[in-house]
Structure 1
Amino acid sequence: MERTVGRADDGVLIASGMLVLGLLWLVVTGGAVPAGIFWPLVIGGVGVVTIWVQVDERVTPDRNRKAGPWQRFTRGGGAMSIVRLLGGLALVVAGVSWILATQVGFAELPGVLGASGVLIAGLLIVLAPWLHQQRSRIRRADADRLRAEARADMAAHLHDSVLQTLALIQRQASDPTTVAALARRQERELRTWLYGDVSRAESLRAALQEIVTDIESRFVVDVELVCVGDTPVDDSIEALGQAVREAVTNAAKHSGASRIDVYAEVEDGRVEVFVRDRGQGFDPDDVPEGRMGVRESIRARMDRYGGTATIRSEPGNGTEVRLEIGG
């Protein structure tokens, strides 16, 4: 999955641009800058911003959201990316040419532009090997990051499914019927996951209800669910649900509480989920290094998908897990 890093709102960017334009106009009217180069500076500045936007990693489109015409024009990839790049270059060339024309005259402009073009071409030839090396390095870094995230997701999934089932089988070793049922169930889940046939719930509420039903069928515990609002399930919401499942499973296995409360709230694209129990609690700072439940299946998973996980617990005072994503 390709995640979207938070970026400034378009309205904020436009307001900032108007402010800069006003300050530049004040400088020009004050005599610090010749009035004849005001509009060339504006045109060239717009071109520079357009080009820099192309290399800003925050413009990566969110594929889980439907983009309107304005979003496709300003943030879309593919052909629109090339159009923005060429348009920015054209604006920069137009601004620079206008400034040169005001300084050397339009009659000398072709010669100046030709000399500038030769200089730029020479610089590109000299820098081409370095640029290629940097591009290859960035691609390798991206590939390494994707592989690391894939390994982390796989490890978290195996912990949440296979290792949890093996722990249950050990506890139920004296009941062959239960052991066989657990093994068959895990085999089906693992085959489904390996061959990519996993079906996700249509909404957050449905996903949480599935978690509650599953936990209550595997443990002697009541799970009370309250969900205020709802949202469709995309990759980030699915990761949130997996973290919720791990938090509820941990509470059912280790807290000793007879009831677990799950409260979810959806507001303005932000999703918060609280998992609370009044069990024996624990010290989050004393979690052993080899225990992946809290570190990988909850905290690291939320980090990978742009969310946060906060765990508050004290021995004897229960545990509260707060998960947040979006917004």
Structure 2
Amino acid sequence: MAGFVTLLVSEIGWLQGLRTLGVLLLIVGGAAILALPWILRIYRSQAEQRRDLIREQERLDIAVQVHDSVLQTLTLIQANAQDPAQVSRLARTEERRLRTWLYQPEDAGTETVAGAIRATAAQVELDYGAVVDVVSVGDCPRDSRTDPLVAAAAEAIVNAAKHAGPR
């Protein structure tokens, strides 16, 4: 650009060079102003398409979850309508799955302390028919220092379920 301006000024003089440069800047600026609405429309259209695609993917995820989990559990509940304990267990298991899916989509499973305790609670609910609610504030990865804590919590949950009996 500097070379172009130098060549322009040396060939036709300063005043004429500045006029030519001004006209050139006006042409480029005018083209940019004319193209700006078109560019913005394309950008907005692409952003809207991305939002629509994300929204559709979320709808599909919800539909898969409802079909694969909730509807099958409802069918099992209907089939076991005469067994209130089994119906309660099925409903509680499905509630746990839905809560995990809704509020902890990136659940680390048993790789964290809270995840391991939640897994133990779910198993105790299935084994003993007891209702176990796990409330955790914060979490950390499991390692050799936290394993005794997980084991103690698991033992406490099992003991409470054994001695409290089913609800």
- The structure with the greater share of residues assigned to helix is 2
| TM-score (normalised: structure 1) | 0.29
Higher RCO (CA-CA < 8 Å; seq separation 6+) = 2
- The structure with the greater share of residues assigned to strand is 1
| TM-score (normalised: structure 2) | 0.50
